[in-house]
């Protein structure tokens, strides 16, 4: 199992014995005779302040669905340790109907929120600013409901290391160029500086004695053009790029004073899950050519976009024919190919992908790769794609291909307004490949779809237009906390996209891809 999967999975035992405010239920939703208790699987928490939860740690949980809503309900660790359960301090959250509910949770708990925000200035305090957040969307009701949160760091961590050939005693160490006055939005899990915030000098400490100084502290994710490192009367400046300080990443500033002169550098170590670990991220792109140079136009367009937009991680190309591949070090894997799978035996990568997912790996499967979900152990035999629509290439498709979103609150769809989003412009090139699930001929009958989601544990992300009996995008998870996003919608097409990169539709494609990859990298 990847070490990142021994992450912040908090086991919450919500005793559902009280009911929140109830609203009128939909006609197809049945109220429960009595609430059901929720049980949770245990996991390991890793956070900057330690490797386990303390007995007094508290989180705030909100929930909506089934005609019931809860806001900022306080839960407390039942017993300290790496694997924990949370008990309600007073009110408990409960399912009151056989309808899905969505949950969010944040740490540390605040009794009073300012419109959902916790505001802090990180130059004034470092207490209570290691903000963590998690969400579980559209969790169906069952007779033994289970909700398991995977918390993620929402701040960036800055480490400062100073070495000198002379005694540093009494000298202040100051970091300049960062904004510190900000807040944490507990509703959507975003921490950032206030709009009006200005960069401040931050005295991170005073050297007591010796030739070395170290400091570690939290900062808001932000852009910063320049970072100043001041030690006593000496100063060094570092030029920075866009999106420099991102949530969940650790940044180490190393300053050296030698012969009265100061020099400094900054390094980035990204791991959004296992508490600021010093490990560079890696993504694998699996294609059906022997080398990335030999990829067909569709696959090459997707691969080129990935390598161009994820320069802060290593992107490795892996052919489907590779035998004995080891994927355990990858944050996520994107399998995307355009050629129909004819000979399963040629796909030597299958066993590696299957093992990777079984150990908690994260996968994006798109285009023809969605036909591999059974081989990879994602879904049971007999539950694979049911509809295959593969059209010939057209240079001027007479409409704008788009997706019809079902799970509107899913992080994949952040930044999109409405449920229909076009991913390619009207009158543009297309090689339509629509690989999806369809259950019966009645577009409004969801019976077959519900039976399929129950058998596969799938979350339906998108459907084919208004046809509620279809699934064109879905998410699957396993007990090891592995995640698979399967996209068989034909609008998720890459060939020639760069030729229309400035259009709203292609920008939507890029946003959807980035949202999805970022989501999987953080899982």
Least Cα distance to 236 among 162, 170, 169 occurs for 162
Question: How far is the CA of 508 from the CAs of 13, 68, 365, 395, 505, in angstroms?
Answer: 39, 33, 19, 20, 5
Handedness of CA 326, 46, 475, 405 (dihedral sign): negative
Whether 237 shows a pLDDT value over 90: the answer reads no
Q: What is the pTM of this model?
A: 0.54
Tell me the CATH class for 156-270.
Answer: mainly beta
CB-CB contact of 415 with 501 (8 Å): no
pLDDT by residue (tens digit) across 416-432? 989 999 999 999 999 98
Do the bridges between strand 156-164 and strand 249-258 make them parallel or antiparallel, or are there none, so unpaired?
parallel
Q: Are 218 and 155 in contact (CB under 8 A)?
A: yes
- CA-based nearest residue to 357, from 484, 211, 237: 484
Rounded to 10 degrees, the C-alpha dihedral 23/25/31/34 comes to -20
Read off the pLDDT of each residue in 3-14 and give the average, rounded to a whole number: 39
Query: Helix (H, G, I), strand (E, B), or coil: what is residue 27?
Result: coil
Give the DSSP letter string of 255-298.
EEEETTEEEEEEEEEE-TTTTS-S---EEEEEESSSSGGG--HH
Is residue 497 over pLDDT 80? Answer: yes
Domain topology for 282-522: Rossmann fold (3.40.50)
Encoded tokens for 400: 């704008």
pLDDT tier for residue 142 given thresholds of 50, 70 and 90: confident
Fold agreement between 156-270 and 282-522: no
pLDDT category, 268, cuts 50, 70, 90? low
Quick: pLDDT tens for 334-378: 999 888 887 776 789 999 999 999 989 999 999 999 999 999 999
- In percent, the amount of the chain with pLDDT more than 70 equals 85
Condensed to tens digits (0 to 9), the pLDDT of residues 70-111 reads 999 998 888 877 667 788 888 888 888 888 888 898 999 999
Place of tokens 């969307």: 137
Q: Is the pLDDT of residue 46 over 70?
A: no
CA-based nearest residue to 96, from 165, 36, 42: 36
| Cα 104 to Cα 263: distance, rounded to the nearest angstrom | 44
Residue 40: closest CA among 12, 63, 59, 16: 12
Residue 300 main-chain phi, psi, to 5 deg? -65, -35
Distance CA 388, CA 141 (A): 32
CA geometry: angle 127, 128, 133, nearest 5 deg = 150
Average pLDDT over residues 222-246: 82
Provide the CATH number for the domain formed by 3-152 in this structure.
Answer: 2.60.40.2620
Q: Count of CB atoms within 10 A of residue 501's CB?
A: 11
pLDDT bucket at 173, cuts 50 / 70 / 90: very high
Q: Which residue has the higher pLDDT, 264 or 42?
A: 264
Going by the DSSP 8-state scheme, the letter that residue 18 receives in this structure is: S
Helices (H) and strands (E) in the chain, counts: 4, 32
Q: What is the C-alpha to C-alpha distance for residues 277 and 255, in angstroms, rounded to an integer? A: 21
Helix (H) / strand (E) containing 200: strand 199-206
Query: Are 97 and 90 contacting, i.e. CB atoms less than 8 angstroms apart?
Result: no
| CB neighbour burial string for 40-50, b if at least 16 within 10 angstroms, e if fewer | beebbbbbbee
Domain ranges of the chain: 3-152, 156-270, 282-522
């Amino acid at each position: 199992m990847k070490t990142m999967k021994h992450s912040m999975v908090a086991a919450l035992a919500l005793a559902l014995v009280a009911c929140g405010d109830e609203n009128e239920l939909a006609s197809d939703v049945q109220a429960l005779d009595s609430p059901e208790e929720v049980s949770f699987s245990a996991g390991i928490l890793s956070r900057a302040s330690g490797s386990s939860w303390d007995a007094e740690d508290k989180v705030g949980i909100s929930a909506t669905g089934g005609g019931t809503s809860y806001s900022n309900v306080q839960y407390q660790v039942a017993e300290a340790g790496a694997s924990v359960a949370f008990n309600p301090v007073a009110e408990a959250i409960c399912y009151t109907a056989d309808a899905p509910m969505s949950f969010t949770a944040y740490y540390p708990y605040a009794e009073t929120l300012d419109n959902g925000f916790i505001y802090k200035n990180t130059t004034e305090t470092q207490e209570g600013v290691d903000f963590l957040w998690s969400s579980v969307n559209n969790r169906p009701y069952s007779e033994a409901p289970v909700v398991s949160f995977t918390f993620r760091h929402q701040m960036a961590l800055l480490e400062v290391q100073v070495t000198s050939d002379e005694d540093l005693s009494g000298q202040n160490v100051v970091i300049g160029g960062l904004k510190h006055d900000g807040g944490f939005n507990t509703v959507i899990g975003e921490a950032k500086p206030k709009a009006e915030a200005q960069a401040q000098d931050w005295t991170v400490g005073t050297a007591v004695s010796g030739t070395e100084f170290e400091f570690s502290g939290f900062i808001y994710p932000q852009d910063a053009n320049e970072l100043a490192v001041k030690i006593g009367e000496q100063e060094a400046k570092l030029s920075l790029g866009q999106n420099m300080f991102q949530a969940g990443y650790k940044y180490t500033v190393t300053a050296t004073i030698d012969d009265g002169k100061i020099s400094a550098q900054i390094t980035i170590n990204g791991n959004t899950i296992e508490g600021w670990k010093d490990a560079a991220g890696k993504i694998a792109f699996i294609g059906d050519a022997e080398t990335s140079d030999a990829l067909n136009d569709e696959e090459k367009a997707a691969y080129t976009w990935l390598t161009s937009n994820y320069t802060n991680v290593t992107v490795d190309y892996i052919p489907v024919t590779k035998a004995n591949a080891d994927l355990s070090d990858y944050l996520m894997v994107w399998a995307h190919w355009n050629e129909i799978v004819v000979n399963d035996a040629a796909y030597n990568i299958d066993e590696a992908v299957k093992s990777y997912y079984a150990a908690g790996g994260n996968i994006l499967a798109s285009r023809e790769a969605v036909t591999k979900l059974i081989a990879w152990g994602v879904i049971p035999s007999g539950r694979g794609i049911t509809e295959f629509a593969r059209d010939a290439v057209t240079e001027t498709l007479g409409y704008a291909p788009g997706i019809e979103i079902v799970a509107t609150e899913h992080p994949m769809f952040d930044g999109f307004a409405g449920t229909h989003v076009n991913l390619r412009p009207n009158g543009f090139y297309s090689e339509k490949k629509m690989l999806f699930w369809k259950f019966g001929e009645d577009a409004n009958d969801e019976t077959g779809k519900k039976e399929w989601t129950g058998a596969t544990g799938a979350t339906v992300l998108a459907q084919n237009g208004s046809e509620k009996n279809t699934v064109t995008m879905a998410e699957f998870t396993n007990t090891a906390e592995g995640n698979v996003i399967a996209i068989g919608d034909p609008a998720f097409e890459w060939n020639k996209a760069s030729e229309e990169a400035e259009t709203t539709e292609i920008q939507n494609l890029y946003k959807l891809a980035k949202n999805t990859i970022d989501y999987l990298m953080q899982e």
